[in-house]
């Protein structure tokens, strides 16, 4: 059952890829990705055009696709987000068709509904055997969990595994099994390990971020959600990592342990697992070398698909529905607690929805952390530029000046009282907005944009909003 094909070009030809079809790949290689451009070049060499690309997300490692977008090889994207460079191309009208942005849970739900149909899924694996068994923890280009590919191979018509380490049969452990794979293509490299995952990700201990993190940790502790058996997603941002460290110390001091942490796994969560503070880690994407090694060594560090992680159509509900609390960021938050993480206040696409909305809806307590302002732009605005997560799923906003609680949601009125009783600086979000504007001034609203170049979808398939062209790019 040898599935090895000598070139990507030949594998693509055997899969029957034609003009107008849809391909996918995953973003677990991050800034070290060397696969997407190889795929694009092979497709272009075959004269195939007008493809829809449905990756799990687009990072800086995918910026090399710009040439293939400009020449018409790729004309549409269905993804979670764009890197700033590809975002500029989108908003300058460089992508020919309207693109679709979904959450990490909304994407597998769209695959299940048939809203996205993948003709050929390209799966980078750090090691694979000749029959197609593969994983992301072996080999010199190890990147960890293959959570996004686990979903793609379930729904794709054809699957091509790409690896830079072809191993004897059979690879173990098996993340994706041979029964799901059509062809295996050995290449010189799938990516640069230095760009795939760094060493330990460390929090930023600046006074501002330290203040926000301390308030966030106190709010979570005083809420009552940090208890024996708690489930959490702490994130990988600088503030989030600082908060995770404080949660770790609190749990050690009180000798309590949580049921699980999930999402993108970092070194600090691995450490908490080794200290007995967490029983299980659910990993869709490993964020550093420590997490990669842990996934390979610890049977309680579990690789899970994006579907199991966050899809609202997952059988029995996704894992996010079991979260007690989640810590998330924002580029903007408005006075109704709606959150934007896709564009900045100048209406420039800089990132993507990721699992933001999925975890916000699933968690009992959703905490948004951000500074009061960035440069000349206040973070709190009258109305977010691009709606990513509706305010009804946001409970608390924390900045360096204090804590705003979304008391428009009935359950949060008691939470606000708890935080006040604990002596925390609970303020109305309008008060925080006014404080921000003392530094930045009241900025005029953005002028209406040009034509629509992107649609932002909620995880249930409904459209939340539009991304417009930006004439300033």
Instruction: List pLDDT tens digits, range 430-440.
Output: 999 999 999 99
Q: Where are the alpha helices (DSSP H) in 51-146?
A: 66-70, 84-91, 106-113
Please tell me the number of Cα atoms within 13 Å of 266 on its side-chain side.
18
For residue 439, what pLDDT is reported? Answer: 92
Q: How far is CA 417 from the centre of its chain?
A: 33
Sheet of 325-328, strands arranged across:
301-303, 278-286, 258-265, 231-233, 325-328, 365-369, 396-399, 402-405
pLDDT > 70? residue 198? no
What percent of the chain stands above pLDDT 70? Answer: 98
Answer with the residue of higher pLDDT: 378 or 472: 378
pLDDT > 60? residue 121? yes
Check: CB of residue 238 under 8 Å from CB of residue 209. yes
For residue 187, what pLDDT is reported? Answer: 98
Q: What does the pLDDT average to over 330-345?
A: 96
Query: Does 8-196 carry CATH code 3.40.1080.10?
Result: yes
Q: Do domains 8-196 and 207-442 have the same CATH topology?
A: yes
For residue 203, what pLDDT is reported? Answer: 65
Q: What does the pLDDT average to over 43-51?
A: 98
Lowest mean pLDDT among 146-160, 200-214, 297-311: 200-214
- The whole-model pTM stands at 0.96
Lowest mean pLDDT among 72-81, 155-164, 203-212: 203-212
For residue 407, what pLDDT is reported? Answer: 98
For residue 243, what pLDDT is reported? Answer: 94
Q: What does the pLDDT average to over 295-304?
A: 98
Round the average pLDDT of the chain to a whole number and report it. 95
Write the DSSP string, 308-334. Answer: HHH-TTSTT--GGGG-SEEEE--SEEE
How is residue 87 written in tokens? 């975002």
For residue 202, what pLDDT is reported? Answer: 66
pLDDT > 70? residue 26? yes
pLDDT > 80? residue 154? yes
For residue 200, what pLDDT is reported? Answer: 52
Q: So where are the chain's domains?
A: 8-196, 207-442
pLDDT > 70? residue 23? yes
Check: CB of residue 269 under 8 Å from CB of residue 278. yes
For residue 44, what pLDDT is reported? Answer: 98
Confidence of residue 193 (pLDDT cuts 50, 70, 90): confident
How is residue 211 written in tokens? 């203040």
Check: CB of residue 335 under 8 Å from CB of residue 248. no
Check: CB of residue 137 under 8 Å from CB of residue 278. no
Encode pLDDT of 363-415 as tens digits. Answer: 999 999 999 999 999 999 999 999 999 999 999 999 999 999 999 999 999 99
For residue 390, what pLDDT is reported? Answer: 98
pLDDT > 90? residue 446? no
pLDDT > 70? residue 216? yes
Q: What does the pLDDT average to over 333-353?
A: 95
For residue 199, what pLDDT is reported? Answer: 56
For residue 201, what pLDDT is reported? Answer: 61
Q: What kind of architecture, by CATH, is found in domain 207-442?
A: 3-Layer(aba) Sandwich (3.40)
pLDDT > 70? residue 457? yes
């Amino acid at each position: 059952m040898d599935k090895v094909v000598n070139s990507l070009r030949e594998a693509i030809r055997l899969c029957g890829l034609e003009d107008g079809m849809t391909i996918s790949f995953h973003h677990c290689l991050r800034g070290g990705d060397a696969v997407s451009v190889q795929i694009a070049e092979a497709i272009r060499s075959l004269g195939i055009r007008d493809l829809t690309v449905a990756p799990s997300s687009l990072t800086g490692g995918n910026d090399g696709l710009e040439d293939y977008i400009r020449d018409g090889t790729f004309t549409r994207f269905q993804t979670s987000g764009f890197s700033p460079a590809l975002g500029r191309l989108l908003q300058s009208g460089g992508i020919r068709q309207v693109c679709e942005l979904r959450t990490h849970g909304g994407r597998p739900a769209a695959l299940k509904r048939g809203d996205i149909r993948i003709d050929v899924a390209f799966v980078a694996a750090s090691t694979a055997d000749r029959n197609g068994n593969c994983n992301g923890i072996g080999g010199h280009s190890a990147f960890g969990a293959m959570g996004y590919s686990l979903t793609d191979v379930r729904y794709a018509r054809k699957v091509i595994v790409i690896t830079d380490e072809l191993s004897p049969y059979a690879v173990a452990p098996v993340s994706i099994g041979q029964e799901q794979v059509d062809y295996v293509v050995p290449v010189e490299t799938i990516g640069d390990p230095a760009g795939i995952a760094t060493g330990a990700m460390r929090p930023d201990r600046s006074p501002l971020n330290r203040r926000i993190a301390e308030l966030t940790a106190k709010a979570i502790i005083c809420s009552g959600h940090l208890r024996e058996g708690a489930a959490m997603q702490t994130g990988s941002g600088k503030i989030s990592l600082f908060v995770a460290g404080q949660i770790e110390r609190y749990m050690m001091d009180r000798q309590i342990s949580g049921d699980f942490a999930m999402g993108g796994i970092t070194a600090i969560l691995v450490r908490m697992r080794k200290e007995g503070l967490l029983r299980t880690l659910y990993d869709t994407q490993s964020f550093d070398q420590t997490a990669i090694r842990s996934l390979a060594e610890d049977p309680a560090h579990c690789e899970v698909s994006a579907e199991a992680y966050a899809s609202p159509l997952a059988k029995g509900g996704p894992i996010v529905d079991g979260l007690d609390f989640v810590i998330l960021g924002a580029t903007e938050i408005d006075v109704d607690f709606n959150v934007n993480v896709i564009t900045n206040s100048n209406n420039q696409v800089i990132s993507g929805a990721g699992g933001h909305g999925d975890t916000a809806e699933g968690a009992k307590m959703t905490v948004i952390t951000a500074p009061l302002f960035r440069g000349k732009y206040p973070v709190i605005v009258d109305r977010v530029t691009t709606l990513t997560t509706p305010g009804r799923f946001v409970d608390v906003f924390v900045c360096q000046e204090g804590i705003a609680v979304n008391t428009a949601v009935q359950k949060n009125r008691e939470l606000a009282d708890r935080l006040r009783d604990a002596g925390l600086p609970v303020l109305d979000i309008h008060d925080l907005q006014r404080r921000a504007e003392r530094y930045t001034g009241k900025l005029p609203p953005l002028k209406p944009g040009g034509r629509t170049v992107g649609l932002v979808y909620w995880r249930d398939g409904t459209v939340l909003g539009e991304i417009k062209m930006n004439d300033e790019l």
